[in-house]
Copies of this chain bind each other. A is one copy, B any other.
Amino acid sequence: MRGGIDLGGTKIQAVVVDRRSKVLGEHRMPTPKDAGPEGVVWALAEAIRTAAEAAGVEPGALDGVGVGSPGTVDADAGTVANARNVVPTWEAPVPVGTGLAEELGTAVHLGHDVRVGTMAEFRLGAGKPYRSLLGVFWGTGVGGGLVLDGKSWTGRHAAGEIGHMVIRRGGARCPCGRKGCMEAYAGRAAMEHEARRRHKDGHKTKLFEIMKDRDRTTLTSGVWARALDRGDDMAKDLIERAIEALGAGVASACNLLDVEAVVIGGGLGTRLGDEYAKRIEKAMLPHLFVDDNPPAVHVAALGDLGGAIGASLLVPAVRPAGSGARGR
């Protein structure tokens, strides 16, 4: 059995899976915001312990635990740096790997969250039929993962920043500080920024009402989905703007790489589902150079647990104990 943890800015999702990646136990908890990176490492351990308990196994008996993390992940050193969307003070490298391995008594393997999610979709999810794949994670930001000829393409460690492809030179300000990035139109953080600006300028919207009703302080994917359901004009307009941006950016990536398929994941991607993936597909079409052979577009199939299951794939395959000697 393997463990997998998806570390996010708002939640920690842990799973324990069998050799076929079937989920045997899982646990979800909010990401602790007030106890620094050390508090997060403690929470990761707690999450996997609870998932292991649900699966009826001791954490120390797992073949290993994989962690998909945002920020700058150094898998060899077992550290994570620059994970400011997890804990605002998280800048210097934190030894997440060794800390967690000590807590759990098993090996820990780190990976970059978006790549881990893309690899999970490639091996187990919507990307299974294909050899080349672009994963688009539409959430707070817009992350990208690449599988080319069956292998993760990471460049010099930083490939996949599809959210910062320029779709409008001199356009809207992106949370990254640059202008005209796809994420400046399609990232949930940028969309919220724009919604607050319009709301302040007197434009009507139910977005912030729904946010308060749900006891939230930010516009979560659920808030956006509910506002769309209720026919909120501002929500519809900003989502349409995001879809047009995604269409141009994802089509540009496809013009460059000509991958077989695009898998749309992330908080907004999975929450809004097929209907909106179809709209992104349609928005890509006017920008695709070879428009008579577009890539397949799918919603991520592993849903909310995809990141954690993907992280569990970071654990190298272990031959079951004694399978050679005692077999048959």
Decide yes or no whether A33 CB sits under 8 A from chain B. Answer: no
In this complex, the member of A244, A259, A287 whose beta carbon has the largest number of chain B beta carbons within 10 angstroms is: A287
Stretch at the interface among A113-121, A156-164, A205-213: A156-164
Q: Bound complex: CA of A153 vs CA of B259, how far in Å? A: 10
A contact set with B: CB distance below 8 Å: 132, 144, 146, 148, 153-162, 164-169, 176, 178-180, 244-245, 248-249, 251-253, 255-260, 286-287, 289-290, 293
User: How many chain copies does the complex carry?
Assistant: 2
Q: Is the CB of B248 within 8 A of A169?
A: yes
Q: Is the CB of B166 within 8 A of A289?
A: no
Residues of B within 8 A of A155 (CB): 132, 257-259
Residues of B within 8 A of A157 (CB): 258
Q: Bound complex: CA of A63 vs CA of B238, how far in Å? A: 61
User: Which of B132, B148, B244, B258 contacts A169 (CB under 8 A)?
Assistant: B244
Q: Is the CB of A256 within 8 A of B165?
A: yes
Given contacts A252-B165, A257-B153, contact A158 B289 (CB under 8 A): yes
Residues of B within 8 A of A244 (CB): 169
Q: Bound complex: CA of A245 vs CA of B252, how far in Å? A: 14
Q: Bound complex: CA of A253 vs CA of B286, how far in Å? A: 19
